[in-house]
Amino acid sequence: MERNTKIGLAVLAVLVLAIGMFLLLVYGKRVAMQDVFPSQPVFYARLDHVAQNITKVGGSSFWKNISAIDVPKVLVRNNVSQPRVKRVEESLNAIHAFIQNPWARIIFGKEIAFGFYEDGGPAAGGAGFLFALRLEPSVHAAEIVSRFWAQWGDEAATLRREYKGVAIITVNVKKKNVVFQYVRLGDVLVAASGDSSILEKVVDVYHKKAPGLGSDGNFAFVAGRAYPAGQGFFYVNARSLNGVLKQRAAAWEAQDLEEMSARTTGVGSYGFSFLPGEVNRWKLIVGVDPALMNPEARKALSCPPSEQPPVQFVPPGVIAYQWGACYDFKQAWERLREQAQALPPSVQEQARGFKRRLEKRWGVKIESDVLPLLGNEAGGYLTDVDTTGMFPYPRFLVFLKVKDRTKTEDLLARLTRNPLVPVLEEDHSQVKIRYAPVPLGPNMDPGYCFIGDYLVFSSTRQLLKKSIDTTADASRSLGADKTARAFGLSVSDKANAVAFVRLDVFAKRLRELLEWTDQYMSSQVTTASVFKQESETKKEAITRAIAAKTVELTLAEHKIEELEAKPAPPAAGPAADVSQEDPSVTPGAIENLRQSVQALRDDIKTGTAQRDELDVLAAQYQAQAQSAKLWMFNSRQVVVPALKGLEALRALGMKMVLTGRSFETEILLN
């Protein structure tokens, strides 16, 4: 019995070994991308299931609405030159053809990766580019290359050489002036531009004779914070990128690059990770060295993540919500004053004068009375945009945590002592609400109150009441909303900042706002058309009046010429025959005619000016009408399809966390 068991185990072991050998021969060795890419890349990207994700996105309602946009038509209508329109159209057709190409789906069906290195060998001009893709078992590297041979023709040549037992194939396409190399390592094909020295590094990494990506500290730090099962990952070495840009920058760009480098001092690397699912997730990771950062950035980085108490007074049905816990208003004020130093002296003096008048009117000092009261938390939410009134009116609420509620209440009492409209008070659930009714429509009564240590301001008193009621029952808050909780918006979820938008509802509200705007734009077109008709009628009347006065002017001028040509009447005396004098030749009559001539000339000049003014106004109205028509065209051809696409989505969320060594921002979409 024992002997039979041993024989059975031996047979099973041989069978497993045989199956393993068969799979290895058929499918080849699976190689991780980071096990063939050398360390210290300037840029690296890896994408999984590219073709599958493209197909998934292409079949979505969002993309169907976006792809319905007629891009060439939109460009032509916006006066883009025909050559540029043609280039865009050719690019779109090329992308579409590439996506539909069966070989593109084979190449990008599994996994691809890119890498850019500062040192790519002499032929690469000091830089090298790597492209890698994971092949199906039935696909050979030579078969992929041969697919392009027909378009290369006889001008293409290949050269094969061995490096440590691995064949490096060089392809020289003289017709296109293109040279590249490739190697096959397990189930991965790696191609490189320039000479083959960078591929030698790839082979060394594959054989564990040179450091790979995994040994790169900056890369490992960022990759360790990416999604382990992510289907996309991007990495940038910030310092290396700055160095490459400086080497290749033109003289006029050097100053801009220096400023960019100064702003990113202390940033070592960037990472971006993607994880698809019912809720799609993207994460941006910025790795930093606090010791190299300026004091302001270092202080911001040291702000610890915290819970979100305000979410307890946010109603569950809001369209959008935002909260942040690391604001430093005093520092922001100082930065604003520093930036003001760069303004012209006259502008600085105007700003100082405005500040003095404002402080005198309010009876407060911004630096000593206001800034010390402001905490580091602030945020708000939006529930609606009312487009039924005279103008769109947003229903929103903002909040700010204060350090001393009593002093803040006293300060607000002083600020509202002499308001433009009367400030009324109302008690709601033992909370005092102060508000100012605006006689422009229903529920236009902005006001404020305090909920705990939070100063809460709203565009309408009803939202203040709603937040007060929500505080009394946490089960009715946004933190209890299923969708919001999936996006990390419960009270216990720690973060430095969060944001949340119900995309479908938000897109519908934007469409309503767009319709209101289109109606306004349409009224401008109508006004321009009416003005054009009225101005043409007025111009015709003015033209007829000018013509009539021109005839009168001509007759008057001829009359003056005739009178001036007649002999002057004899001087008055006893012997003069008064009955023989022509009264029209008297100096007074001629002077009256001259005054009439001047009046006619003035009338003609005024009429001409009025006609010219009508032309100018008509041109202005026409320009406004053309702008309005262009707005409505872009609205209907671009914005509406985009908003319809957004309506197919549900929600978008953002969460930022500071760890002391990194800024991490996660974006969620479903």
Q: What is the pLDDT of residue 50?
A: 82
How far is it, in rounded angstroms, from Cα 667 to Cα 657? 12
Which phi and psi (to 5°) does residue 316 adopt?
A: -70, -25
Pick the CATH number of 511-565+585-647 from 3.40.190, 1.10.287, 2.40.350, 3.30.420: 1.10.287
**Average pLDDT across the chain, whole number:** 83
Residue 569 has pLDDT above 80, yes or no: no
Q: How buried is 271 (Cβ within 10 angstroms: 0-12 exposed, 13-18 middle, 19+ buried)? A: buried
Would you state the torsion angle of the CA atoms of residues 75, 76, 82, 88, taken in this order, to the nearest 10 degrees? 30
Residue 141 has pLDDT above 90, yes or no: no
Average pLDDT over residues 25-30: 52
Q: Which residue has the tokens 């700055």?
A: 242
How far is it, in rounded angstroms, from Cα 112 to Cα 108? 7
Does this model's pTM top 0.85? My answer is no
User: Which parts of 526-660 are beta strand (E)?
Assistant: 652-658
DSSP 69-125: S-HHHHHHHTT--HHHHHHHHHHHHHHHHHHH-HHHHHHTSSEEEEEEES---GGGT
Q: What is the pLDDT of residue 460?
A: 93
Q: Where exactly does CATH 1.10.287 map onto the chain?
A: 511-565+585-647
H or E segment and range at residue 606: helix 587-634
How far is it, in rounded angstroms, from Cα 487 to Cα 178? 48
How far is it, in rounded angstroms, from Cα 478 to Cα 315? 5
Average pLDDT over residues 652-670: 90
Q: What is the pLDDT of residue 86?
A: 93
Q: What is the pLDDT of residue 14?
A: 38
Q: How confident is the model at residue 316 (pLDDT cuts 50, 70, 90)?
A: confident
Q: What is the pLDDT of residue 269?
A: 92
The pLDDT tens digits for 47-101 are 988 888 888 888 888 888 998 899 999 999 999 999 999 999 999 888 888 777 7
- DSSP annotation of 584 reads G
The pLDDT tens digits for 226-236 are 999 899 999 99
**458 vs 25, more confident:** 458
Q: How confident is the model at residue 45 (pLDDT cuts 50, 70, 90)?
A: very high
How far is it, in rounded angstroms, from Cα 205 to Cα 219? 16
How far is it, in rounded angstroms, from Cα 480 to Cα 242? 45
**53 vs 122, more confident:** 53
Kindly report which listed range (5-14, 491-500, 591-600) carries the lowest average pLDDT score. 5-14
Q: How far is CA 525 from CA 360, 522, 617, 627, 629, in A?
A: 46, 5, 14, 9, 7
Q: How confident is the model at residue 442 (pLDDT cuts 50, 70, 90)?
A: confident
- DSSP annotation of 419 reads -
Q: What percentage of the chain carries pLDDT values higher than 90? A: 40
Number of other CB atoms surrounding residue 383 within 10 Å: 23
Q: Under a CB-based contact definition with an 8 Å cutoff, are residues 328 and 307 in contact?
A: no
The pLDDT tens digits for 380-399 are 999 998 887 778 889 999 99
- DSSP annotation of 19 reads H
